Structure 1
Amino acid sequence: MATRLFEGKSHASHYQKYRLSPPQKIQDLILNYLGNRLKKPFGLAVDVGCGTGQTSRSLVPYFQKVLGTDISEAQIEQANHADGFPNLVYRVSAAEEIPAENASVDLITACAAVHWFDIEKFLKEADRVLKPCGCLAFFTYLPNMEVHYKHQSQQLTQVITELQDVLSPYVHEKVQHVISGYKDIFNAIPYTDKKRVENIDSKISMSLKDMLGLIQTFSMYQTFLSFEPEKAKDLVKTTEQRFLEIMQVSSSEEIIELRLNNVCVLASKPE
């Protein structure tokens, strides 16, 4: 069964506010891969482990119907509160039980999510619902984040590294899939038509406040918060203060650039 760490209402609210949409490079990579295997118009895409719907909404322009699924009722509730689209629906559902007919799905995506699933059961279920030549696309950003701001980038990135060191005892074992760049998940996919694309860089301009909000959505921070709530909150405050001092600014609305390194696993079901 999938690991369940993202179900609290407060966590879901943070997720909706601060989680990132997939980088355009990854969207283009997925759509080009799919377009070389299935003809347009694309029918149904299913975004599994959709959280509050960031990836689901990014798929809307390209598919006749998009279905976002998540095991968390709180996450789906937040997704439904976002801007609606006539071709997008959400359902509470385990990753291993996709609410779709046999051979009906063009594309299955999972953004920063597949490592939480029961991989063997999920891949069997994905095979059931995918059309012949339908595709899988699993992608995530890796832990080695960089923060850039004027000439203080090295110092700011060091602050993030130290924060991650504090959180390291609370990293779930399944996050090792991410640290390894989804190599074992790639190997588990039974299809021969597959590839793993590394070193997909993304640069996101955001406020310092939003970056700290993003960090608070991470599973290790939420685990730390559940065990040591005051220490977890103090960690965020201390980190914010360190950033402000290094940047020599007084407001957390100051814009920084967050640089991420992403990996994407793509695969296509045989004809």
Structure 2
Amino acid sequence: MKDNFSTQAQTYAKFRPDYSHEIIDYIISLVPQKGLALDVATGNGQVAAKLAKHFTTVYATDISDKQLENAATADNIIYKKERAEHTSFNDKMFDLITVAQAIHWFDFDAFYKEVYRILKPDGLFIVMGYGLFSTNPESDRIIRHFHQKTLGDYWDPERRYVDKDYETIPFPFDEIEAKQFSETFTWTFEHLIGYIDSWSAVQHYIKKNGSNPVDLIRDELKESWDKSDGKAVFLLLLRVGRLKK
């Protein structure tokens, strides 16, 4: 698993889109027992914090100290610095295991072997995420060109799984057909730029070139954004599975 987000951990925590109560409530409705949950690659803990309202105890793991330092807190969340593929948890421990916006960074074979070890036989495994958002036509044009052309060579190859809406990831589970969800946010221009700044490809560009590529589109994007309603719409990616018998 790669650590692409320690550098911008505070930006990530502040500007990344959150998951609505609607999708969390839907997930909760699918889980028969609500004792122990695990959020893998928890990042800033946004999913762990929501699960904590429904489960007795939530464990949350990440490989980034800086992400964990910026994570949401609750009395029943236990954070651990651990790799997704190799954990210290007991066999058949969890009623629910979630991975939000991170599955594409994992060693699939090693991680799924671990899921099969630590998930209860009647437990649920859930992958969540979101791809490139849509907004007003003019801002969309600028952002898509920036995403595909300016940053094209700076995206990690694993990003292709997100671009394919997680449909091409290995998924060795009995899959449950999931509802479709979308999230709509109203963002200031500052928030829009903060979100784009959190992209891993932007950080790769900065590291290689010593300048922020967002500066190349900032003025043009601000002009289009200021004329719009500030809406950003994300189609949520969701796959739900149980252990194969």
- Please give the TM-score of this superposition, normalised by the length of structure 2: 0.91
- For the 8 Å contact 1:98–1:126, the answer to whether it is kept is no
Task: Give the aligned partner of residue 267 of structure 1.
Answer: 241
Q: Does 2:198 match 1:201?
A: no
Task: Give the aligned partner of residue 221 of structure 2.
Answer: 243
Task: Give the aligned partner of residue 189 of structure 1.
Answer: 171
Cα deviation, residue 262, structure 1:
1.8
Distance in 2, matches of 1:70 and 1:112, equals 13
- Identity rate of aligned residues, in percent? 25
Task: Give the aligned partner of residue 28 of structure 2.
Answer: 31
Task: Give the aligned partner of residue 12 of structure 1.
Answer: 9
Distance in 1, matches of 2:171 and 2:165, equals 15
Matches within 5 A, 1:64-143: 64-79=56-71, 82=72, 84-143=73-132
Change (3 A) 1:3 1:160: same
RMSD: 2.0
Cα deviation, residue 167, structure 1:
0.9
Amino acid at match of 1:189: F
The gaps in structure 2 that reach 5 residues or longer are none
Cα deviation, residue 50, structure 1:
0.7
- For the 8 Å contact 1:97–1:125, the answer to whether it is kept is yes
Cα deviation, residue 206, structure 1:
2.1
Q: Deviations over 1:167-225 (max 9, x none)?
A: 1111111111111222232xx33322x13648532111222111211111111111111
Displaced runs of 4 or more, over 6 A: none
Q: How many residues align?
A: 244
Distance in 2, matches of 1:135 and 1:99, equals 19
The gaps in structure 1 that reach 5 residues or longer are 148-152
Distance in 1, matches of 2:201 and 2:122, equals 37
Distance in 1, matches of 2:226 and 2:97, equals 45
Distance in 1, matches of 2:210 and 2:184, equals 31
Distance in 1, matches of 2:84 and 2:118, equals 12
Change (3 A) 1:221 1:196: farther
SS at match of 2:215: helix
Query: In proportion to residue count, which structure has more helix?
Result: 1
Task: Give the aligned partner of residue 54 of structure 2.
Answer: 62
Distance in 1, matches of 2:90 and 2:10, equals 31
Task: Give the aligned partner of residue 163 of structure 2.
Answer: 179
Change (3 A) 1:180 1:229: same
- For the 8 Å contact 1:197–1:263, the answer to whether it is kept is no
Task: Give the aligned partner of residue 38 of structure 2.
Answer: 46
Task: Give the aligned partner of residue 143 of structure 2.
Answer: 160
Task: Give the aligned partner of residue 256 of structure 1.
Answer: 230
Cα deviation, residue 237, structure 1:
3.2
Distance in 1, matches of 2:176 and 2:217, equals 38
Cα deviation, residue 63, structure 1:
0.6
- Please give the TM-score of this superposition, normalised by the length of structure 1: 0.83
Q: Deviations over 1:123-172 (max 9, x none)?
A: 110111111111111011112x212xxxxx21111111122121111111
